[in-house]
Homo-oligomer: A and B are copies of this chain.
Amino acid sequence: MKQHHTSDGFQRYKAVRKHTERLCSNLQTEDFVVQASEEVSPTKWHLAHTTWFFETFLLKPHLSSYTEFHPRYSYLFNSYYNAVGARTHRFHRGLMTRPTVSEIMAYRAHVNQEMEILLSIRQGEEIDSLLELGINHEQQHQELLITDLKYNLSYNPLHPEVLDIGEYLSEQQQGWETIPEGAYEIGFSGDGFSYDNEHGRHKVLLEAFNISKALVTNGEYLEFIRAGGYQNVDLWLSDGWDWAKKNNMKHPLYWWERDGGFQCYTLAGMKKLDPDAPVAHVSYYEAAAYAEWAGCRLPTEFQWEAASDRLDWGQRWEWTNSAYLPYPRYQKALGAIGEYNGKFMINQMVLRGASVATPEGHSRSTYRNFFPP
């Protein structure tokens, strides 16, 4: 990863760590524990795993005086880094009642103290670069924490209100931009932080195209539903149709049909559907079916990046019609860090932009997010 000189490294570290905890300030102890599906993690686990990252990649190798907080935590809070050793089965994360929330808060405090020591006595590129990676890793988990928390709490019949991040911003640019034919530079350049999957900056030829400045709104999506979009096989990719039928989809996740209208579950509680807000939590399959219905296509990630200067992006992650595959000259990093991105380059589609859950300073136009369709 590209490094970032951090004279004020510990200040940034502290601010990011605090922000993570602030996201949880309205949670009850019980809310931290649960895991509603294999794909999501408990809040408690995010708090511990991000801490484990600093302990494993910074403190243990670089601070000789460091003593680990608990001998089993390394096993418990490893996520998918096979190179670092055995780890607990992913779906059992939600069954770990111990360590408790307060023990994990103590773990965070311990690692914070030791990080302060480390950063006061050790300097140089390697430390800077690992710190930068750890901070970005925690920021990424802030977004995951919010996303997973929403999913976990959505199973709660009492619909708890725990966090207001303005999921319902509704002001948007309008109209379309025309991007001319040309060879566009794609991929990261510059000094700031970036992930390895953005590297390998290269030229891509694009034909001229139009791209909408506005995101699809709830109101527009509702028209698609009312026009029978979920029942019209011709609009769907074959796998998308199977997915929609198997899961009995009739509207996006978190929409609830009530008294003829729709409500949405948000972390700030149940809300009446706002027709002007951009639609959220749609799968690639739903996005592609909507586009087919609307007579459009999803942009490729190259089209999106080429147009990004002219878009006011950042409210929703935007599906692109590009599979998540390596750029030319892509190289996996050596060791455990190399497991970060490369091994997921199959069966996923790229999303570009950022969302209201993305922490400030953690987005850029070359960022490649990815999810299964």
Residues of A within 8 A of B (CB): 28-34, 36, 44, 72, 75-76, 80, 82-83, 88, 92, 94-101, 152-153, 155-158, 160, 183, 202-205, 207, 233-234, 236-241, 284-285, 288, 297, 321-323, 325-326, 328-329, 343-347, 349, 373
User: B29, B99, B202, B345: which contacts A237 (Cβ < 8 A)?
Assistant: B345
Q: Chain B contacts of A325 at CB under 8 A?
A: 321-323
What are the nearest 7 A-B pairs in CB distance?
A: A323-B323, A30-B97, A95-B155, A238-B343, A31-B97, A29-B29, A98-B158
Q: What are 9 A-B contacts with C-beta separation under 8 Å?
A: A28-B97, A30-B32, A30-B33, A33-B34, A88-B157, A205-B205, A207-B329, A240-B346, A346-B349
Known contacts: A207-B328, A238-B343, A345-B237. The answer to whether A156 contacts B30 by CB under 8 A is no
Q: Are B238 and A344 in contact, with the CB atoms below 8 A?
A: yes
B284, B346, B349: the one within 8 Å of A239 (CB) = B346
Question: In the complex, are the beta carbons of A160 and B240 less than 8 A apart?
Answer: no
A282 to chain B, nearest CB (A): 15
In the complex, residue of chain B having the shortest beta-carbon distance to the beta carbon of A99:
B158
Which of A72, A203, A234 is most buried by chain B, counting CB atoms within 10 A of its CB? A234
Q: Are A33 and B343 in contact, CB atoms less than 8 angstroms apart?
A: no
- A156 vs B92: C-alpha distance in the bound complex, in angstroms? 8
CA A51 – CA B272 in complex, angstroms?
34
The answer to whether B346 touches A33, judged by C-beta atoms less than 8 angstroms apart, is no
Tell which of B100, B157, B203, B233 touches A28, judged by Cβ atoms closer than 8 Å.
Answer: B100
* Interchain CA distance A70-B203 in the complex, whole Å: 57
Rounded to whole Å, the gap between the CB of A112 and the closest CB of chain B is 22
Contact of A80 among B33, B44, B160, B238 (CB under 8 A): B238
Q: Is the CB of B347 within 8 A of A97?
A: no
Q: Is the CB of B34 within 8 A of A97?
A: yes
Given A30-B98, A34-B97, A237-B344, 13 additional A-B pairs, CB 8 A: A28-B100, A30-B100, A72-B157, A76-B157, A97-B153, A98-B156, A98-B160, A99-B158, A202-B205, A202-B207, A285-B346, A321-B325, A346-B349
Q: What's the Cα separation between A354 and B343 when bound, in Å?
A: 28
Contacts of A155 in B (CB 8 A): 92, 95-96
Q: Determine the residue in chain B with the shortest Cβ distance to A102.
A: B28
In the complex, residue of chain B having the shortest beta-carbon distance to the beta carbon of A342: B237
A285 and B347 CA atoms in complex are apart in Å by 11
- Residue of A82, A95, A234, A284 ringed by the most chain B CB atoms within 10 A: A95
Whether A95 lies near B34 (C-beta < 8 A) is yes
- Identify the interface centre among A32, A76, A156, A322: most chain B CB within 10 Å of its CB: A156
Contact flag A205-B203 (CB < 8 Å), given A284-B346, A373-B346: yes
